[in-house]
Amino acid sequence: MNSHNNGTAKRTLWLLLAAFTLPVVLAYLYLTQGWYQGGATNRGQLLSGLSYESLSVANPAQRQWQVITLLPAECDADCLDRLAMLHQAHIALGREQDRVVPLVYLTADSDPGIRGELTSRSLHIANAEAAVEEALMPNGLVVVDPMGQWVMGYPAVAGTEAHIQQGRDLLSDLRKLLKLSRIG
């Protein structure tokens, strides 16, 4: 009878040991094997070190949030989708839309046939200097804070569905930024 109690005690000890060590081992593996995706909730890519000041360019809409993009030489279907998404995201901001300026940078090569559509969509226009053009190339859209810091970039995407998703992501990020911001 004593040996039976001894076997039960050992089993209980092993179960208790497993109950306390197994979560620690699993947590260690979860963190070290890259299974954990960080707590970031932003959808765009955070940019650092870019600002109008660092580019030695004047801020076209001071003290306001901006969503900027560059108009290419030929505005194809993806370009038109990006402009439509920019306009729709601005409208979707509702009462906060007066805090955000949708801005399209034009270069000497930009498609001249699309300029009328920009004003009909209430998109602001500015001439892009070489530094701005170069900085915007890797991004389809960039969010700029009221102090002129380039905060978040979104890659150029292709296809209407991708633009719709990017518009949702942009809107989500803008709402968070506007909620947390006390300026602009």
Task: Give residue-wise pLDDT tens across range 126-158.
Answer: 999 999 999 999 999 999 999 999 999 999 999
Query: What pLDDT is attached to residue 116?
Result: 82
Query: What pLDDT is attached to residue 98?
Result: 94
pLDDT band at 182 (very low <50, low <70, confident <90, very high): confident
Shared-domain flag, residues 70 and 142: yes
Range of the domain at 34: 1-39
Shared-domain flag, residues 94 and 33: no
Nearest to 57, CA basis, from 44, 68, 72, 71: 68
Quickly list H helices, 33-122: 77-92, 115-120
Q: Tell me the two tokens of residue 8.
A: 């039960």
d(CA 111, CA 166): 23
With 0.75 as the threshold, say if the pTM is over it. Answer: yes
H or E, element range at 154: strand 150-154
SS3 content of the chain, % helix, strand, coil (to 5): 50, 15, 35
CA distances from 40 to 43, 159, 167, 173, 180 (A): 8, 26, 19, 11, 15
CATH code at position 115: 3.40.30.10
Shared-domain flag, residues 97 and 158: yes
